[in-house]
Every structure is written in structure tokens, then in C-alpha cells.
Structure 1
Amino acid sequence: MNYKRKTLVVALSLIGSMTTAAAYADDSDASLQRVDVIGSHIKRLKDEKATELTTVKVDDLAKQGLTTVEQVVNALSSNQSNIGANSSVGQSTGGAAFANLRGLGQQYTLVLLDGRRIAYHPFDGTAADLNSIPLSSIERVEVLPDGAAAIYGSDAVGGVINFVTKKSVQGLTLGGDFLTPQRSGGNEKNLEGSYGYGSLAKDGFNVYATVNYHKTDPVMANQRAFASAILPTTKPSVNSYPGNYSIDGGNTLIGPSSYPNCYGATAKGGYCVMYPSSMVGIQPETEQISGLAKGTLRIGDNHELSVTYNITRTKTNSLSAPTPTFGDVQLPSGTQGINSGSNPILPALRTIPLGDRNTEAVSTTQKLQVNLEGLVAGWDYRTGVGYSESYATEELVSGFTGINELTNAYLNNQISLTTGMATDPSVWSKIGLTGHLDDGKYTSVGADFSLSKEIYQLPAGMLAVAFGGETRHDTLTHNFNYPITNDALGPGMTLSKNTQGNRTVDALFGEADIPIIKNLDGKVAVRYDHYNDVGDTVNPQVSLRYEMTPQVLFRSSASTGFRAPSLYDMYTPNQEQLTGNNYANPLTCPSMSSSCTQIQRYMMTGGNTHLKPEKSSSLSFGMVIQPTKSITASADFWWVTIKDQIGTLPEATLFTPQYANLLSYDSNGNLVGQATTMNMGNSSSAGVDLDFRWTLPKTNYGNFGIELAGTYLAKSDYQIVANGQYYSNLGQYPTTLNEPTFRWQHTLTFNWSLGPWSSVLSESYKSGYTDQHLNPDGTQHFVKPYSTWNLSGSYEWNKHLTLTAGVRNLFDQLPPYSNQTYLFQANYDARFADQVGRAYFLKANYKM
């Protein structure tokens, strides 16, 4: 299939383009010259440079000491992830990590593996877990920050990230790296190996397999002074050891009889308090094993058959402070001689003798994909069938007890109400609670096909078209171990109920690249999706690309999009969960003054099968200039509007007098807010993506290059309820939402190479923002901008052995202070900063 044809100037305008990257095929492939490019179903010649998108080689990021897919995605300037491994501390996330392009939310970023979907994480159900992707098998990452529903369907509102596996591997390669922080805790080690046999060009086949092992040690709060410090803004807990108790429904707390000694706890207003944030593991322990096997067979000159299987198992152990009991354990009046009248006695004990709560989450994701692609009668075709599964479990390892166990210990006088101390120290080991908590599974079975071809000669060039379709069946199950979930203190899963759901999706799509006049090209695409549970949707996309001169290019794009309610949105398990912050009771203290007792409350969450899809519209305009062959710069302005967003009322909004109708008491007398999933208000975001690349003239001292990629957000507004007030989280931490967005983010990279030597110096920068709470003096606190640098040097010996040594967080920039109280970690925001500090790494790779 060696043929010639006129170069096709393709019309493809992508918002947020960071670099103009050429699509390319495997070097060993001498015949199949045309390749798939993210954002289009039309195959193109590899020398056409048909699309503008961000393409990142994994090997380049590995030289900066990045060893996980989560770290790789967080290195993208257009990404603003807010859920990662650190979020598992005190929360049932299963250790998952998600991408979040432009800060719109992880549910609006579609993650693909070799251009196809992977199963969502069952504990979130709205996005794919980045930990499920085997980094050692990935060649490059393609990022399309654009509304791409006309190409990929649901969820591609904020953009698409495609992880591309290696097409073929030959020979044996062994490698590994080790990272050790300057401070204790947080060591990382990584081992990987691959073996491949056969050449597609010479033998007509290739088979290879890769395996990877990665381990990250935990970091405890007491190993970092900034995390364990007790400051005036550090959130105290009335659950202490020895314990307090209340006899009037929680409005007044009575300290232990030993007050004011408090046995190491802090005396405050006649009772004891503790600071649980100083007892947690601020970074969990993670262990990941992944493998991928791939076989590719050339059939004749024009066809390729490939089979790929990958599996990743991630184990996350997170440590939270010892269990709090206030509000869960309720004792009858007269217990241990204490008269509470008609009110129950509420112990406020923290189970220090049991130690920290250790929760183990294990997520296993696997996928089997069979593909066939090639050329028939002049048409490029691509078809495949695949099965993807994500299975997650949670186990209580240690540090937990149950409502029944602790209640009986009080009633049997094994634990004193007035001191919180056990009369027999062995009682703690007897009332400890361990075992299986819950598990979930998300499966996706799908098949797809597409055809593309240049079909007609227009005056300005060849008209190319593509069309195809796909079908997919998804299922979600989430099961709870009721004897434990209904009894265990701490997980916040009281009254949880099993859930399951499924859906079938069918789609048809078409696409055309149209040369309009010389140097002006257009693209139109449309996709029809049918959901058996939420109906139909049609979404078009129109874009233009104008090459004014060889040095100046303009591009624009307009599209509509949608996001169908996920199975998790519809079938979220009904369960009571603890809030992240402390709140007053609006039913008994509607003034919400500072004198109101503020404690963690409960929310009853659950899905909604009557949700309707979200609708979106996207618009962009950009330009690329190349004044010289060594300098390229681009700027892309974009706007995204989303209607009928799916979500739940933020806890800070729910526990206010305005929503008193959604507050009630459960059977234990706990205040519970109803926070079921619903269609809410709209959101509107806008910004500009900037990119600058300069390759300096060659010198006797080596080759130098500079790259800058940044995203500036000009607008990030949202409504909580339909037709309600608009709020903004741009550069601020609003009370109605538990996360800020950054006005400016960038990555700056300096490259140098000379023969076998090379070096990389890179910076990651986030602008500051207004903090969640006021300072104690009533003034506004501002979280400072945050910048970290990585430095590495590499040497390649005889194209076989590569050694890399470097420093991550070169200048030891510790997290800026934040008074946020949403996370279990305190004094900083663990979602956006590096709590490890300066760390040294060594990486080796040997190819036999």
C-alpha cells in the first residue's frame, strides 16, 4: 500500500491548543502510513501535521522524576485536578485520582486509552481512575482541551486525554528508579521491565509485554512541621481522650473529672479538645502493580489485527485520626450514675488506645481490546471490540470500633464516662472492629467501527469524510457489608444501601474536512447518541482553519456538547456521610452565631433516576505564529457554558436556615441533611491557553530550548440552583463550594543536550487565591502563589544504558499556609501542593 496523493490541508480547530504536534506512526511501519489523530475519525498521512494539540512523551516527563499517571497529568498546565491519592485520607475515594481540564470538574474530562473508553472507578462513577493506566506501557499522552462531544459523545465537555500505548517493543528492557525525600517519609521506588519479539515491517508481527511495580511510603503529619503545627485556625475536635460528654443534646459539653489536666489533650472552656489533623497520614501508602501484553499481526499489506490486555492493581492505605464518637454513641439516662433527664447521654470520646484508623482500598482495573484496521477499496477502516472492568474494595484494617461495641463497654462500666479511660486496658482490643466494608464494580462492553476516505477533488483540495458508529453497555454495582457498615464508627456509611444500575448507549457519527478556498479549510462533525434511560441527543461541531501566511495561522471552533447523568449519579448508594467541616444546627440555633455548637454533621446522599442530561456549548478562537523556524507561539481564547449541571448541594449551603426543609434527625438523634443528586444551575467559564517554544541556535556548548505552556482563567462562575445567584470560585475558596480554581497556571521548561548528555529544568506554577476562612482578627487570608522546580541530568551510553539523576522540588518549596478545614489534613491544601518537599531521585534503564 505504497501510494502517493496530494497533501490534504485539514480543517481542524481545537480550543486550548498548546503546541502544534504532528501525528505519527511507528517507525517500523513502512506501509500503513496513515494514523489516527485524537479529535478526529479521519486518518491522515503522517507528514500532514493535520492537528493542533498537546502531545507529551512519557520519557520526557520521567526525566523530571514523575513516576505515576497522576503526576504526569498534574504536570499539565491545563489540568486542575482536585481529587488524588491524598484525598483518600478520611474519605471513601478508594485511592482514585482524576483529571480535571480547565477546572470544570473531573466528570467533564474524558480519559481514553488508545482512543477508547475505559471503565469508570466504581466509588466515583463519573470518571476513569488515572491509577488504572499502566504508565510503563504508555508512549505518549495526547491532550485535547476542547468540547469534543461531536467526536466522542458524553463527558468530553472540557476536553479529552488520550494515553497511547507503545505500538511495538523489541528486545528486553529493564529499568527502575528510587526517590528519597530530604525529610523522613515519602520514599518511592519503581521497577519495570518489558520484552518484545518480532518486527511488523520485517516479520509481519510483534508481541510484547510490560510489567511495573511502584511503591510510595506514607508521610505522617508529625513528619512535617507545617502539617502538625497547632495554630489559632487549626480545627479542634470535641472528641478527645479522655472523653467529654453532654446531657443536653450537645449544646453543653462536660469535661472529664480530671479537668483541667486532660491527659495531654487541650483544655478549652471546661472540656477537653484534640487536634486530629496532627495525627493523620497526610500522604497515604500506595502500592501498584501493572502489566500489559499486546500482540499485533500484519495481514497482507493493508490490514493489522491487534489484541491488547492490561491490568492494574492499586492498593492504598490511608491513616486517619482515631475514631470520634460524638453523636453516634447514645447512652440512657442513669448510665454510670449520670442523670440526663429525658435526653440521652452523648459521649465525646476519641479512641486513642486503638490507634489511627487504617483503611485499605484496593482497585483492580483490567481491559481486553481486539482491533482490526486497514484499507479496503480505498477506505481506511478501524473497528474493535473491548471489555473493561474496574473493581474496588475497602477494608477496615485497624483503629476502628462499632456503635454497639462501644455502647456495651460504657453500659458494662468497662469505660468510664467521667474520664473516658478503660478500667481494663485489654477492653480496647476486645471492642476493635476490622473486616470488609464495601465493594463496587463498573464494567463496560463496547464495539465500534469507522470508515474514512478522500472522496472528491475540490478546487482548494480533497474533500475527506468519515462516518461510523459504536455501541456500549455499562453496569455499576456497589455492595455494603451491613454488619460492619451499619455499626462501624468512622467510615460514615451508616444506613448505606446496596445499589446497581445499567445502561446501553448507541451512537452514529459523521465528519468532513472541507477545503473551502486556498489556505482556508473547514470541518463539520455531528454525532447522534441514544441512551436507553435518558433519551437522545445530537451534537454538532464546526471549525475553521486559515493559514494567512506560512508564519501566521488562525483557527476557531464552535460546538455543542452534553454529559449524560452517569450511572453513579443515578444510582449513588443511599448512605449517611460525615461532613468535612463543622456546622451549627440551623433548627435549634437559626442565628448561626459563633456561640452555636459546631460539630461534624451527617448528610444523606443518594442517586436520582430522574436526572436529565447536562447541555454545553463551546466557542474558541486562536492563532499560531512562527516568525522563524525556531520559534512557535500560540494563543487560544475559549468559552464554555454548561446548563443543568448535575450535583448535590454543597454541605456549607445545606446546613443553613435557608435549606432547613432538607434537615431532619435520624433514629440516633443526629442532624442529617438530604443531599441527593439533582440537576442544579448553570456554569460559565472562559480563559486563554498560551504556548511558546524556542529552539536556540546550536552552539559548541550544546543545544538549548525553552518551552512555556500556561492557562489563564478569566471566568469561572456557577449557580447552586437553577435560576439562582451566580457565584465564582476563580482565585478564591467560596463558602458554597469546597475548592478554588487557579487564575493562572503554567509549566516552564529549559532543555539542554550535548551528545549523550542532556538536562531538564522545569517549573510548575499556580497562582494564589483567597482562602476558605477569615483570619482570627477578621481579615481576609490569601494563599500565596506556589511554584516548584525539578532538575535532572541524563547520560545515554551506547543507546543501551540511560542514567538519570535529579532533584524534585529543587528549592524545597513547602505548601503555602491555608486555613481550609474541608480536608483531614490541616494548615495547607493537600490537593494542590507538594507535602513531600525536596527529594532526590536516581533512574536507570537498560535495553539489551
Structure 2
Amino acid sequence: MKEKSICAAIRLLCMTGLIGGSTALCLSAHAQEAGIQRVEITGSAIKRIAKEGALPVQFLSAADIQKTGAKSVEELVQSLSSMQGFTTASESVNGGGGGVQNASIHSIGAAYTLVLLNGRRIASYGSGSAVNLASIPMSAVERVEILTDGASTLYGSDAIAGVINFILKKNQQDFRFDAGVNRPGKKGGGNSNFSMSKGFGDLDKDGYNFLVTYAHDAQRELNAKDRDFAKTGLRRFTENGKTYSTYLLAANTAPASATLSLKDNTVKIFSPAYFKTGACAPNTAFVGTAEDKSCWFDYAGTVQLVPKSERDSLFSSFNMKLNPELNVFGELVLSKYKQTARYAPAAQRLSLPLTGALY
């Protein structure tokens, strides 16, 4: 009652303007009466003036992440409007990507987009500075903060495009289990995942917290031959009564074509299967004239749209409060990612010297 009376008296004096510096004093009185909640702030450490305004920061809470339906960090990054020019797992087909999944803000490049884990740098892949997102467990992510403006003055040249900071869960006590299965309407491309996590101890009450999270993700392969839009590189269409073709085919790949070096120093390219049976071999397409008897290798239908992959992730954290001003923490992130990609045969030419009968 005494405290409330004092606060009421201060508010009365503020209203009458009898106390100098009334605004700060009244705000202090309101804060003491209402109580102060704990607020945690992560972000840039650069000192700024008020007229500069706020930095362009995107914030994704746990609820926002759940609404996106993303089952992996890669899928989450793809859903962000500020991300362009990044590498996905599907780009690992036919010799590209190598299973790497990275982030690129405004298509400036993965080498210039800094990826942080709880505000700290994590190991990069290869000899560059880009981070493979496949090593970050989605089940352990609590929120994501994306700075879509350059921060090279604070972090270095790898933050020219911006910064994406993954904040992992902490101070969790309950047991959580999540599972999901996705099955397309057509053959291939399904995926499944499950994760479980358990925490021990309340950091505020017990002075410590230990959290363990395990997740497993499995992606089935999606072959190009299983989808009509990708099963062939040969597309025919009609315009003004005339037939045209657009194609992504290889003329030099055996057994589609063979090259004969004749005695008169001329070169003859023909298709052995067409020459023998009058029809092109499997995975080849007829694109020449009847005189040429030419079948080209239709490699588009032999590759994968999405490669087969599996990911196992283990995240563990320990936090201990030594005193109200000092905490001790430790984090362990283990991730094993396996990808099986299919490659189309190299476009090699098969040359045969003609020394006798062809058959």
C-alpha cells in the first residue's frame, strides 16, 4: 500500500509539473509498479544513430517456420523472398552441386552470405567460406534472423550480402516427438522425417539445462523418366502447319551414333541400331533425315530430378548459470549426410575404322 501511494503521489506531481525531469521519473515509477520482463536481443553490434533507422532484418519464429511447411533448412531458405542464386540438393544431379546446400542473399553468392549458428560462425565446406546447410538440424532450430543488408564492416567480406543466423532451442524440459511423411501423386520423390528432443533442468530455476535432439530425414529419388515434362529432351510442336523440334540431345554418345573414317578421308556418322533394325535404340531419339539414319542419345530421361539422400543429425547443448551475470555453455552438432546421385554418360565419340564389311 505504501509503494502504491508513493507511485500515485509521483504521478500526481508529474501531472502538475512540480518535479524536474518528470518524464524519466514517471516512467521509472511505472516500471517499478508493473515489473520488468526479461528480454533477449540478438543482432548487430554496430553503434548507430536514431536517424539511420532500423536495419532490414527478417525474423522467423517457430510458428512462422511451422507455417512454411519446411522439413529441412534447405526448404526453409528456398521459401525466403530475399534468397536467390542458392544451391539446392536437386542441383546435384548430373555432376553439379555435389550434395551442397547453401544460402545466397540477393543472388550475390554463397561465399558472401554469412551463416551463423547461435550468433557464432560454423565450419565451412571445401576451401571457401560458404556453409553447407545440410549440417544444420532443422528440428533444433527455434527461430531464424536474416539481415538482408551488408555487414562486412562487422563480420568481414563473407557478409557483404548479409547474414542469416539460426538460433537453436535451449532451456527445453519436455519431451517432443515430430514425424512427417510426404508422398506425391505419381511415382518417386517421396520423403519422410522424424525428430525427438528432451531437455533436463530449468536454467532459471535449477541453474542448468541440458538438451539433446536427434533427427532423421530420408528423401527418395525422383527420376526424370517418371515425369512427363522431363522424360525426354526432344520436344515437337506445330506452328502454321509446320512441325518443329527443340531438343537437348547428344550426337556423340555411344551407342546412339558411331563415326566411320572412310578411305577417301571422309567421315560418316550413323546409328548402328537404326542401320540394323530400322529403329532407334532405347534412350535415343531420331532427329536426322532418313538418309542420315541418325539417332541421338536422349540423356534427359536418364538423370534424376531429385537425388536420393539421407540425413542424421544430433544436437546437444549444456547451459549453466554460475551467477546472475555469468553463464557457461557448450554445444555439440553432429551431422551425417549421404546422397546418391545418378549421372548421364559422358558424350564420348565412338570411332570405327572401316576395314571390311560393316556386319
Task: Report the TM-score when normalising by structure 2.
Answer: 0.76
Does residue 179 of structure 1 match 2:193? no
Partner of 2:220: 217
| Alpha-carbon distance in 2 for matches of 1:313, 1:176 | 19
| Alpha-carbon distance in 2 for matches of 1:287, 1:75 | 21
Does residue 117 of structure 1 match 2:130? no
Q: What aligned pairs does 1:80-99 form with structure 2 within 5 A after superposition?
A: 80-99=84-103
Aligned residue identity for 1:109: T
Q: 1:251 to 1:132 in 2, by over 3 A?
A: farther
Does residue 199 of structure 1 match 2:202? yes
Offset at 1:160? 0.6
Q: What aligned pairs does 1:287-436 form with structure 2 within 5 A after superposition?
A: 287-321=310-344, 323-324=345-346, 326-327=348-349, 337=355
Offset at 1:41? 6.1
Q: 1:315 to 1:58 in 2, by over 3 A?
A: farther
Q: 1:235 to 1:51 in 2, by over 3 A?
A: closer
Q: 1:87 to 1:154 in 2, by over 3 A?
A: same
Check the 8 A contact 1:254/1:270 in 2, yes or no. yes
Check the 8 A contact 2:111/2:158 in 1, yes or no. yes
Select between 109-118 and 201-210 the one with higher mean Cα deviation.
109-118
Check the 8 A contact 2:73/2:138 in 1, yes or no. yes
Partner of 2:246: 233
| Alpha-carbon distance in 2 for matches of 1:309, 1:120 | 16
Task: Report the TM-score when normalising by structure 1.
Answer: 0.33
Aligned residue identity for 1:40: A
| Alpha-carbon distance in 2 for matches of 1:152, 1:274 | 49
Percent identity over the alignment? 28
Check the 8 A contact 1:31/1:302 in 2, yes or no. no
Check the 8 A contact 1:244/1:272 in 2, yes or no. no
Does residue 272 of structure 1 match 2:295? yes
Find the structure with the greater CA-based Rg. 2
Q: Secondary structure of 1:89's match? A: helix
Does residue 254 of structure 1 match 2:257? no
- Report runs of 4+ in structure 1 exceeding 6 Å deviation: 248-251
Aligned residue identity for 1:266: A
Q: What aligned pairs does 1:488-507 form with structure 2 within 5 A after superposition?
A: none
| Alpha-carbon distance in 2 for matches of 1:250, 1:74 | 53
Offset at 1:325? 5.2
Q: 1:89 to 1:251 in 2, by over 3 A?
A: farther
Post-superposition Cα deviations, 1:701-727, rounded to whole Å, max 9, x if no partner, equal xxxxxxxxxxxxxxxxxxxxxxxxxxx
Aligned residue identity for 1:309: L
* Structure (1/2) with the larger helix percentage: 2
Q: What aligned pairs does 1:587-626 form with structure 2 within 5 A after superposition?
A: none
Q: 1:32 to 1:211 in 2, by over 3 A?
A: farther
Partner of 1:149: 152
Offset at 1:278? 1.3
Q: Secondary structure of 1:225's match? A: coil
| Alpha-carbon distance in 2 for matches of 1:63, 1:168 | 23
Partner of 1:137: 140
Aligned residue identity for 1:173: R
| Alpha-carbon distance in 2 for matches of 1:93, 1:136 | 24
* Structure (1/2) with the larger strand percentage: 1
Offset at 1:296? 0.2
Post-superposition Cα deviations, 1:665-717, rounded to whole Å, max 9, x if no partner, equal xxxxxxxxxxxxxxxxxxxxxxxxxxxxxxxxxxxxxxxxxxxxxxxxxxxxx
Offset at 1:290? 0.3
Q: 1:137 to 1:250 in 2, by over 3 A?
A: farther
- Which one of the candidate residues 22, 39, 42 is aligned to 2:44? 39
Q: Secondary structure of 1:136's match? A: helix
Post-superposition Cα deviations, 1:328-364, rounded to whole Å, max 9, x if no partner, equal x7x7x85x837xxxxxxxxxxxxxxxxxxxxxxxxxx
Post-superposition Cα deviations, 1:787-835, rounded to whole Å, max 9, x if no partner, equal xxxxxxxxxxxxxxxxxxxxxxxxxxxxxxxxxxxxxxxxxxxxxxxxx
